[in-house]
Structure 1
Amino acid sequence: MPLLSIRNLSVTFATSRGPFRAVDGVDLDVEAGELVAIVGESGSGKSVAMLAVMGLLPWTATVTADRLTFDGRDMLALSARERRKIIGRDLAMIFQEPMSSLNPCFTVGFQIREAMKAHLDLSRAERQARAVELLELVGIPEPERRLSAFPHQLSGGMSQRVMIAMALACKPKLIIADEPTTALDVTIQAQILDLLLRLQKDSGVGLVLITHDMGVVAETAQRVCVHYAGQQVEMQETRGLFRDPHHPYTAALLAALPERAQGRMLPSIPGVVPGLADRPKGCLFSPRCRFATDTCRNVPPPRAGAEFGFALCHTPLLAGVPQRREIAA
């Protein structure tokens, strides 16, 4: 059984202009020790889908799913008290902006120890020793002194390392890393990613990596989920996705990579992601797709099956694949 199993996850927000579906029918399985990447433009529902798993969405959000299980437990059936016993202990998240995710009023040591106090049966001295061990693990020099520092006294790279230490504090089974290198310079990005991958391999923890960096995906992930306008438009093993993308949106993303560009100009995808008021009747990508037909514009696409995944498309960029085979349940 997968560590995390999601089927038909949807998230709808109540707005002044009516309901808005930010996540629409997402499926995902993550095995223990596996690294799965989620990619897509800003606003494609990547973070919202994972925040729904964590139970961290505001009251305006309505979350539904045919299945949402973690480590064999139905997350939708759990009470708030039962969910809090899992979140932060077995299931942890590294947030996108460490400077806004860390509480500026408390030292980093207090914030790391707080998670252990809530979930682990450790004495005060044991929590302090574990906090020092965690800062050493994530490569922060002088860990005893840094535990007394406030978030504003740390650099962006150090703050992100503190966030990783907090996520690892209770030895979780699965970590969700939401664009962990955003706003960091290139050198620090490489260090943070190397740290995450080393910790993931050493501990065997499952990792869901939300990112815009396709180069990172190519080097690290076993499988890739591509999101567009709240929908999951393609899922494949990483090697297959880069070699043979099935969805036109995935193909357009890969064509825009500098190393794949031909000529002096980088190719771009015309148009914008649809919002609340301009969502097409059919395929959400059809206004921007050079392969779109009248069927694409008026009929929601089926899932076209493939050996290791699917593409949400009427005419997937793959010959000889059955058009309406669903992803394995």
Structure 2
Amino acid sequence: MSLLSIRNLSVSFATGRGPFRAVDRVDLDVAAGELVAIVGESGSGKSVAMLAVMGLLPWIATVTADRMMFDGRDLLSLSARERRRIIGRDLVMIFQEPMSSLNPCFTVGFQIREAMKAHLDLSRAQRQARAVELLELVGIPEPDRRLSAFPHQLSGGMSQRVMIAMALACKPKLIIADEPTTALDVTIQAQILDLLLKLQKESGVGLVLITHDMGVVAETAQRVCVHYAGQQVEMQDTRGLFRDPHHPYTAALLAALPERARGRLLPSIPGIVPGLADRPTGCLFSPRCGFATDTCRTVPPPRAGAELGLALCHTPLVAGVPQRREFAA
């Protein structure tokens, strides 16, 4: 049974020029102990989809889904009070910018203990002991002293470790990590990722990793979900995706990896992701796709079967060759 199960999730934002669909019919399943990666360009709806699951979108957002289940509970039908019992305890999120996510007015110890006070039946002394234990767990030296520090007194790497400690405070069942190493230097990035993966394997927690780093995906994820312009264009197990991508966008992403260039000039994808005013009537990737046909440009693509990576494409690739199949509209 999936810990998180989403079907047909869409998110639209009200704008002065009409609604803009930032997430368009996304499906996702995550099992306990599984690591699923979500990849795609900036603006492809990765973070927005997961913020919708967390219930953290602003009032101008409209969220719809056929199903949004977490640990057997329907997130769509929960009241705000019922959702608050789950968010922060069983379902947590680690954000991109630790320095922006931590409250500068409170010590890190207060912020870690606050999560436990809201969700766990622990005394003050027990919360303090647990906070020390968590900082030790994430590799912060002198945890007793660090609990009294304010966020500005910590480095970026230390701040992200505090964010991970906060996420682990209530022993969650699922962690959503939204590009948790973006603001950090390369050495610290590796340390934070190693820490996350170590904790995930030891605790058996489910992990959704939103990232741009395909190297990290190749080494860590069991399955990969590829987003483009708000749509899920492909979903495969990691080995299959890197061996034989079926959507032209996925193939273009992988072709741009430096280790695949082998001394040649790195290829790039021409054009930009469509916005509100320039969305094609057919496939959203068709203006940038070298395999696009007239059908691609005018007819929204259907989703292929699991054997073709659930590719949202009229001409999914097999061994790099487009299969000119005509799907029913």
CA distance 1:262–1:321, shift in 2 (3 Å)? closer
Cα displacement (A) at 1:318: 2.0
CA distance 1:303–1:196, shift in 2 (3 Å)? same
Whole-Å separation in 2 of the counterparts to 1:24 and 1:282: 14
Give the share of equivalent positions with the same residue, in percent. Answer: 92
User: What are structure 2's unaligned runs of at least 5 residues?
Assistant: none
Q: Deviations over 1:212-253 (max 9, x none)?
A: 000000000000000000000000000000000000000000
Cα displacement (A) at 1:321: 12
Cα displacement (A) at 1:259: 0.3
Cα displacement (A) at 1:309: 3.6
Whole-Å separation in 1 of the counterparts to 2:151 and 2:86: 26
Cα displacement (A) at 1:265: 1.5
Cα displacement (A) at 1:16: 1.1
CA distance 1:46–1:326, shift in 2 (3 Å)? farther
CA distance 1:252–1:326, shift in 2 (3 Å)? same
Structure 1 length normalisation: TM-score?
A: 0.97
Whole-Å separation in 2 of the counterparts to 1:257 and 1:112: 38
Paired residues of 2:22 and 2:229 also in contact (CA < 8 A): yes
CA distance 1:328–1:175, shift in 2 (3 Å)? farther
Cα displacement (A) at 1:326: 15
Paired residues of 1:12 and 1:19 also in contact (CA < 8 A): yes
Q: Deviations over 1:271-327 (max 9, x none)?
A: 000000000000000000000000000000010113384100000002899999999
Alignment length, in residue pairs? Answer: 329
Residue of structure 2 equivalent to 1:119: 119
**Paired residue secondary structure (1:307):** helix
1:222-237 matches, cutoff 5 A:
222-237=222-237
Paired residues of 1:305 and 1:325 also in contact (CA < 8 A): no
Paired residues of 1:249 and 1:289 also in contact (CA < 8 A): yes
Paired residues of 2:244 and 2:319 also in contact (CA < 8 A): no
Paired residues of 1:281 and 1:298 also in contact (CA < 8 A): yes
User: What are structure 1's unaligned runs of at least 5 residues?
Assistant: none
Whole-Å separation in 2 of the counterparts to 1:149 and 1:128: 14
Q: Deviations over 1:47-96 (max 9, x none)?
A: 00000000000000000000000000000000000000000000000001
Residue of structure 2 equivalent to 1:9: 9
Q: Which runs of 4+ in 1 moved over 3 A?
A: 319-329
Paired residues of 2:244 and 2:320 also in contact (CA < 8 A): no
**Paired residue secondary structure (1:163):** helix
Residue of structure 1 equivalent to 2:297: 297
CA distance 1:327–1:174, shift in 2 (3 Å)? farther
Whole-Å separation in 2 of the counterparts to 1:327 and 1:177: 36
CA distance 1:142–1:38, shift in 2 (3 Å)? same
Structure 2 length normalisation: TM-score?
A: 0.97
Whole-Å separation in 2 of the counterparts to 1:154 and 1:263: 40
Residue of structure 2 equivalent to 1:325: 325
Whole-Å separation in 2 of the counterparts to 1:111 and 1:179: 21
Paired residues of 1:304 and 1:326 also in contact (CA < 8 A): no
Q: Deviations over 1:136-167 (max 9, x none)?
A: 00000000000000000000000000000000
Whole-Å separation in 1 of the counterparts to 2:262 and 2:228: 25
Cα displacement (A) at 1:180: 0.4
Whole-Å separation in 1 of the counterparts to 2:140 and 2:243: 39
Say what the alpha-carbon RMSD is for the aligned residues. Answer: 2.6
Paired residues of 2:8 and 2:67 also in contact (CA < 8 A): yes
Verify: 1:189 aligned to 2:189, yes or no.
yes
Paired residues of 1:302 and 1:324 also in contact (CA < 8 A): no
Cα displacement (A) at 1:183: 1.6
Paired residues of 1:305 and 1:326 also in contact (CA < 8 A): no
Whole-Å separation in 2 of the counterparts to 1:188 and 1:36: 22
**Paired residue secondary structure (2:207):** strand
